[in-house]
Amino acid sequence: MFDVIFLLNMLNISTFQQHVESIKHLEQENHTLRDLSLSASSGTAASGASDVDPDVARKDRDRHAAKELKLLKHTIEEMELRIETQKQTLATRDESIRKLMDMLQAKG
C-alpha cells in the first residue's frame, strides 16, 4: 500500500514539474511576443529600401508592420489560451490525484 502511495506521489511530482516547465516556457514565449508586438507597433521596424520613394516605402513598411502586429496579437492570444489550458489541466490532474490518494488511504 505504501509503495502505491509513494509511486503516486512521485508521479504527481514529476507531472507537476513538467506542467510547471511547460507553463514557464509558454509564458516566456508570450512575453517575447509581447515585446516584439510593442516594438512593431511603436514603429521601430527598420526599412531596407533606400532607393524607393519615401512615401511608398513608408506605406509598405506600415502595411507590413500592421500585418505583423495582427499576427503577433493573434499569436499572443493563442499563447495565453494555451497557458490557461495548461493551468486548468494541472488543477484537474491534481484534484484527481487527491481523490485517488483519499481512496487509497481510506482502504488502508
Report if residue 38 sits inside a domain: yes
Instruction: State the Cα torsion 72-78-79-85 to the nearest 10°.
Output: 170
Mean pLDDT calculated for residue range 17-23: 75
Q: Name the pTM for this structure.
A: 0.48
Q: Which residue has the higher pLDDT, 45 or 100?
A: 100
The total number of structural domains that make up the chain: 1
CB contact at 8 A, 61 and 45: yes
Mean pLDDT of all residues belonging to the chain: 78
* Domain encompassing residue 103: 2-44+54-107
Report if residue 23 sits inside a domain: yes
Report if residue 87 sits inside a domain: yes
Report if residue 18 sits inside a domain: yes
* Confidence (pLDDT) at 22: 78
Report if residue 49 sits inside a domain: no
Model confidence pLDDT, tens digit, residues 29-75? 877 877 777 776 665 444 444 566 888 888 888 888 888 888 888 98
For 42, which DSSP code? T
* Confidence (pLDDT) at 88: 93
